[in-house]
Amino acid sequence: MLKSMMKHKNDNDQILKGLLDTLVLNVLRDQPNYGFGIKEALQVQLGDDADVLKEATLYPLLHRLERRGLLLSYRQPGARGTPRKYYQVTPEGLTYLKVRTNEWRKVMSLLKRTIF
């Protein structure tokens, strides 16, 4: 039973990981932003479901997307003078976002037709 529960958690984690990648890229689609700004934007968009994105998840996610070439980062002085690391979507990231958005639309459509 424990193995089954662990497998289920891993499945959920993978689904959530793919969804969060898409949500973060979407936030950055129109303009660059820094980590806390991305988190705030997602909190507004997700409302009561904002807890799906933990701070401990966001920064590794940003670094992973950057390593994959989907984001670029640069430093810029913040309001208090401390440099902030900003992220912007690359052309590859925009293509990836478009593909993933279409995949999520298909998943939503399938779920609506079969379960809901």
Facing residues of 34 across strands?
Answer: 86
From residue 44, alpha-carbon distances to 8, 27, 33, 48, 75 in Å are: 29, 11, 15, 9, 25
Confidence of residue 30 (pLDDT cuts 50, 70, 90): very high
Mean pLDDT of 27-45: 95
CATH code at 2-114: 1.10.10.10
Kindly give the residue spans of alpha helices, DSSP state H, lying in the chain.
Answer: 2-28, 35-46, 55-67, 91-114
51-66 confidence digits (pLDDT tens): 888 878 999 999 999 9
Q: What is the pLDDT of residue 8?
A: 54
Q: How confident is the model at residue 2 (pLDDT cuts 50, 70, 90)?
A: very low
| Residue ranges of domains in the chain | 2-114
Cβ of 101: how many Cβ atoms within 10 Å?
A: 14
Its pTM stands at 0.83
Name the pLDDT band for 33 (thresholds 50, 70, 90): very high
81 membership: H or E segment, kind and range: none
Mean predicted lDDT score pLDDT of the chain: 89
